[in-house]
Amino acid sequence: MSKKKTIHTVGKRKKAVARAFIKEGKGEVKINGKPLETIKPEMIRLMIEEPLILAGDISKKIDIEVNVKGGGPVGQAEAVRQSIALGIVKFGGKKYKEIFEKYDRNLLVKDPRRTEPHKPSRSSAGPRRHKQRSKR
């Protein structure tokens, strides 16, 4: 009895973190337990499908299950597509790495930018906003 290998990858964007589990299968993709086809709006579903379309026929040989939390809808979508792309590269090899890098480097590289913490003077107003001063 052979054990199927499962690949675990993590994609991040802003506050969103997506964890993908990839194994041999029939090409099923689930995000937080829901099939990819049910994801709305369509733009977000298409963003998530990009690495699957670029990978071609390997995407029909693997099952992908993604858990994502934090951030907003677009940040989550970008984290999911990144975790899927990283998993396909681990599963399929360097050929896919070249394809993804040529198309969009963000599919493989995490974006290090984060929001700046708020500072004390007027904490609720933002990180660089100061109290207005009057000269008279």
**pLDDT surpasses 90 at 56:** no
The model's pTM is 0.85
**pLDDT surpasses 50 at 14:** yes
**pLDDT surpasses 80 at 49:** yes
CA–centroid distance for 106 within its chain: 9
Q: Over the stretch 105-126, which tens digit does the pLDDT of each residue have?
A: 888 999 888 888 888 877 788 8
Q: Over the stretch 63-112, which tens digit does the pLDDT of each residue have?
A: 999 999 999 999 999 999 999 999 999 988 889 999 999 998 888 999 88
Q: What is the DSSP string of 14-80?
A: TTEEEEEEEEESSS-EEETTEEGGG-SSHHHHHHHHHHHHHHGGGGGSEEEEEEEESS-HHHHHHHH
Please give the angle made by the CA atoms of 102, 104 and 109, to the nearest 5 degrees. 105
Please give the single-letter amino acid code of residue 16.
A
Euclidean distance between CA atoms 90 and 92, whole angstroms:
6
Q: 67 is written with which tokens?
A: 């858990």
Number of neighbours of residue 22 by Cβ within 10 angstroms:
24
List the domain boundaries for the chain.
6-109
* Average pLDDT score over the chain: 89
CATH number of 6-109: 3.30.230.10
